[in-house]
Structure 1
Amino acid sequence: MSGKKRGLGRGLDALLGAGARPTPPATGNGQEQPGDGVLKELPVDLIQRGKYQPRRDIEPESLQDLADSIKAQGVMQPIVVRPISDSRYEIIAGERRWRATQLAGLHSIPTIVRDVPDEAAIAMALIENIQREDLNPIEEAAALQRLQQEFELTQQEVADAIGKSRSTVANLLRLMSLREDVRRLVEHGDLEMGHARALLALEGEHQSQAARTVVARGLSVRQTEALVRKLLEQGQNPQPDQTEPRLDPNIRSLQDDLSQRLGTRVEIRHGAAGKGKLVLSYSSLDELDGILSHIK
């Protein structure tokens, strides 16, 4: 990590200042909010998806519900953006509200404009989204991991920054050690966090097989814990099969970094000869547009 990022270890407030404080309610257009940026109404087409957005998937049903609410009552909470050119803005927090506003047919949205550098934008996006948005456990865990790694924070410092207990942060971070296929089941809601915590006791393909069994049988968390205990007692958790190649730590780090920067799941299939494939996942055309805006 660079020295300037490590500066966050001395306290997030040193970098963020007032930026990490809750966003004030909308009170007008173009009004200065001391220490908090400028409050104004911006056209939705001048705003683009934030590259530090921890959310990967937004369920169409929940997005439509929010759009219906916005159509009836308007946007109750401004989104937070930063200028990236003379006429365009990038979202720091509030992508779901921005998407729902477009779905509702509105052409503008109340925003708080904060002119902040990349490092502050990373911290603000992660912290505000973790605190404000309904992230699934894997999205939240990935966001916490990035916050910890980007700024070399302890689990306690991460916990203090987002207003959660250290044990909650520790349990979420443990989810990142799940196998990729098991993480996807948690991310898509097929497994709950309790299931995932139980499955962490298993390794390799045994973890994946147990996860598939839990989903297929619709096992409860208690039943999953019993299944894991049974497998461990029967010695069905040997060391992972060495014939199944593990992802190189450098490739995994690059994969995770690309996932965070593009705001979507990224898979790098790296072959022994140096060739491979880069696979990007998206769940809607809007999400694809957001990915492409970061690549162009």
Structure 2
Amino acid sequence: MSKSKHARMISQLGSQMAESAGGSITNDDRFSGFTPSDMASGEMALDRIMEDEHQPRKSYDEQSLKDLAENLKTHGVQQPIQLRWNQDHRKWMIVYGHRRFRAAQLAGLNAIPCTFTEADVDEPTIRIRQLVENAQREDLAPMELARAIESLASLTKWSNRRIAEALGFNHTTVGRYLSLLKLPEQVQQLVQNRDLAPCIAAEITKAKAEDQERLGRQIVAKGLNRDAAKQEIAQAICSPMAKPSQPKPKAKELLTQTVNITIYRNPDVSDFKIRQELMAVIEQMDTTKAES
């Protein structure tokens, strides 16, 4: 192994490893079983590697993994994964390259090409690297990306604009993905399965909560494009279903209700006149009751 190649690998592994160079590398837990020939090839044994449970990608297409595994058997791993040391588990944790790692396991490989991140890199930087790497490869399902952005926001307390700058996104894109997390679970699943475009789903968040699931299913069932979907959503927002009006009570129902009547006598009106008016009212009530 040339001195220059040895030096490059030492540099990648960080200053702590550089201090232990010159034959004492294997005294460090990180490099147990990690030989000079490993350094020359830039490979790490698979059993020395663990996945990062906080990485953005949560689901993998099984057939796609099998296809990649077959490819690796024939052509090998062309793109190295990136690792960092996890002292708690005493293993190398994947920064990015989880899919390649799983495919390498399926392919029955013993080791995988790798690079090493700096020893002092912080968590926000790791999260950003993972997000950018997955976003550039278009590996993440929309809801995975939304949850990863939310996780980064929770970790850093950054504004949408600052997150967008770190990821190389437009700040409205960050806001749009975060809004997807407010949708009902059923609509989120449509987005996750790529049945409903994120841009359309973000428009659905503007509708009333009770209308969102119906709108999501309706748009997918009709196969509406973005413009048609926006029009459908706008109609739901501007023209909510009218509440059914309460039926007016029938005259018969009114007539069977008990009421209290107080009569105040006008001293200028005779008793005969009062009786005459009351009889007329009673007669009218009897007529109305018979008709109803």
TM range (shorter): 0.5 to 0.7
Which structure has the highest strand share of the two? 1
Does the Cα contact within 8 Å between 2:44 and 2:111 map onto a contact in 1?
yes
Identify if the C-alpha distance between structure 1 residues 52 and 28 changes in structure 2 by more than 3 Å, giving closer, same or farther. Answer: farther
Distance apart, 1:212 and its partner CA: 1.8
Does the Cα contact within 8 Å between 1:30 and 1:41 map onto a contact in 2?
no
User: Could you report, residue by residue, the CA deviation over 1:80-134 in whole angstroms, capped at 9, with x for unpaired residues?
Assistant: 1222248522212110111111222222111123334662544443444344451
Partner of 2:28: none
Q: TM-score, normalised by structure 1?
A: 0.62
Does the Cα contact within 8 Å between 2:128 and 2:167 map onto a contact in 1?
no
Which runs of structure 1 show a deviation greater than 6 angstroms over 4 or more consecutive aligned residues? 27-30
Are residues 1:92 and 2:69 paired? Answer: no
Partner of 1:72: 74
**Structure 2 alignment gaps of length 5 or more:** 18-38, 244-292
Which structure has the highest helix share of the two? 2
Question: Any residues of structure 2 matched to 1:215-234 within 5 Å, and which?
Answer: 215-234=220-239
Partner of 2:289: none
Distance apart, 1:193 and its partner CA: 1.5
Amino acid in the other structure paired with 1:76: Q
Amino acid in the other structure paired with 1:45: D
In 1, the alpha carbon distance for the partners of 2:5 and 2:230 equals 53
- How many positions carry a matched residue from both structures? 212
Partner of 2:54: 52
Does the Cα contact within 8 Å between 1:126 and 1:147 map onto a contact in 2?
no
In 2, the alpha carbon distance for the partners of 1:236 and 1:75 equals 58
Aligned pair partner of 1:189 in 187, 194, 201:
194
Distance apart, 1:237 and its partner CA: 10
User: Could you report, residue by residue, the CA deviation over 1:55-85 in whole angstroms, capped at 9, with x for unpaired residues?
Assistant: 1111123223322332232212211122224
Distance apart, 1:50 and its partner CA: 0.5
User: Could you report, residue by residue, the CA deviation over 1:148-176 in whole angstroms, capped at 9, with x for unpaired residues?
Assistant: 22112122221221122222222222222
Does the Cα contact within 8 Å between 2:177 and 2:202 map onto a contact in 1?
no
Identity %: 33
Distance apart, 1:29 and its partner CA: 8.4
Does the Cα contact within 8 Å between 1:148 and 1:158 map onto a contact in 2?
yes
Partner of 1:22: none
Question: Any residues of structure 2 matched to 1:158-177 within 5 Å, and which?
Answer: 158-177=163-182
In 1, the alpha carbon distance for the partners of 2:106 and 2:195 equals 27
